[in-house]
Amino acid sequence: MAPATLRKAELHASVGDPVLDTMNFLNEITHRYPRAVSFAPGRPYDGFFDVEDIFRHVRRYLDHLAERGATPAEIRDTLFQYGPTGGQIRELIAASLREDEDTDVRPGAVVVTVGCQEAIFLTLRALLAGPQDALLVSSPCYVGITGAARLLGVEPTAVPEGRDGFRCADLEAALAAEKARGRRPRAFYVVPDHSNPSGATMSTAERHALLDLADREDFLVLEDSPYRLVSPGRRLPTLKSLDRDRRVVHLGSYSKTLFPGARVGFAVADQIVVAEDGRQGLLADELVKIKSMVTVNTSPLSQAAVAGMLLAADGRASEWNTETAAYYGEAMRATLKRLDECFPQPGREALGVRWNEPAGGFFLTLDVPFPADNAALARSAEDHGVIWTPMSYFYPQGGGEHSIRLSVSYLTQADITEGIARLARFITAEAARSR
């Protein structure tokens, strides 16, 4: 008998979406050129991880449960059994938000998820009820929001970032355009601190203006900020900490701050939901229902390891990251300094190269005078031994064709020095080629 054969065109449209393929192409290139210096992966630096630590973290959490009166049988079940869908460590996460982020929410408003990615997915599923509901995204944006929206059959509306990041006036115009088309703007997704992919950070004034706008226009802000605690220097307040009217759903991740392999994130969803019969609950309760049909619960073992890390730092994820934030800050500074050396003024202008200067985070944007597409990336890897990410991957409705994303988190200083020199040779060659 012939094996079952399916037509791709008859599967859900998202499987044919290039966004769901972008990372495959990068992985393939990385695999094909193992000696290339890669500014592509947005991963934490491996040097911070030690296998033995995981056992200590889990042990610390179990000791904590015992100190709080849990019996051996209860502790056993905590690890071995299915856990509560909303999460085992909601109290610890709520406490850590109080310590780190000046955010006071009840544990019941927190949903522990399989990474921030699941928090994104659950939130979109709950909020986008029909074709009239619009999701707006600050663009360029993280592929995970575009991809999750498309899995749900939703096309996000791009709100273009300026050179310095998000501008409220552009969002206001986009909201008006959506309304004029008869649509209901439901949510606006943004990475306010050291954004992936651009590296931009929203000013405090824009944060206040955004919350005022959300109130006036009646939409929710989806705040995703995985890079703030791994960045050096003074942190601006989160949107959630400034939120007086429960306009913000905060999408949390421990992937950059604690460890990505745990796959633990969370949503803070304290919005009030009123049922037809007048009964009230929280948006978090609805997310929990959806989660019960997606991943059932977040791995108890992973939650235990994350909890142990939080406990070791008196509940502060920020404490864990004093050293990492300094490390990534150094990597960013080294990259910017090296770019300066390799593209001295005034030649830089004539060549048509420029970049932004993020104070933290993993990413920066580099504008180049030629189409930075997959073909250029393949030449860069093959001829010059350097890999980067085309910025166009991150524009849901087109754009970024002449920009690249550089990620600095995964490389050593020596790699950065050599990698930027290679990148400069590639850009010079490519600029000559396109002339």
Q: Which residues here bind ligand PMP, judged by CB under 6 A?
A: 42, 115-117, 142, 144, 191, 196, 224, 226, 253, 255, 260, 265
Antiparallel, parallel or unpaired: β 248-253 and 220-224: parallel
Give me the residue whose beta carbon is nearest to ligand PMP.
115
Minimum CB–partner distance for residue 427 and ligand PMP (Å)? 25
Angle at 17 between CA 11 and CA 21, to 5 degrees: 110
- Cβ-based nearer residue to ligand PMP, 191 or 268: 191
- Long-range Cβ pairs for the range 26-34 (8 Å, 24+): 26/387, 26/389, 29/377, 29/378, 29/381, 29/387, 30/387, 32/381, 33/381, 33/382, 33/385, 33/387
Minimum CB–partner distance for residue 349 and ligand PMP (Å)? 31
- Residue 263: CB atoms within 10 Å: 20
Minimum CB–partner distance for residue 198 and ligand PMP (Å)? 11
- Cβ-based nearer residue to ligand PMP, 42 or 308: 42
Q: What is the DSSP letter of 3?
A: P
- Cβ-based nearer residue to ligand PMP, 142 or 426: 142
DSSP states of 23-92: HHHHHHHHHH-TTSEE----PPPGGG--HHHHHHHHHHHHHHHHHTT--HHHHHHHHHS---TT-S-HHH
Q: Which two tokens stand for residue 347?
A: 């030649």
Antiparallel, parallel or unpaired: β 110-113 and 265-268: antiparallel
* Rounded CA separation 142/191 (Å): 8
Minimum CB–partner distance for residue 307 and ligand PMP (Å)? 16
- Cβ-based nearer residue to ligand PMP, 256 or 384: 256
Question: In 184-235, which ranges are continuous DSSP H helix?
Answer: 204-217
Minimum CB–partner distance for residue 260 and ligand PMP (Å)? 5
Please, are residues 132 and 111 in contact by the beta-carbon 8 Å criterion?
A: no
* Rounded CA separation 404/28 (Å): 18
Minimum CB–partner distance for residue 142 and ligand PMP (Å)? 4
| Closest CA relative to residue 407, chosen from 229, 227, 258, 253 | 227
Question: In 218-293, which ranges are continuous DSSP H helix?
Answer: 239-242, 283-291
- Cβ-based nearer residue to ligand PMP, 355 or 362: 362
Please, are residues 401 and 161 in contact by the beta-carbon 8 Å criterion?
A: no
* Rounded CA separation 257/300 (Å): 19
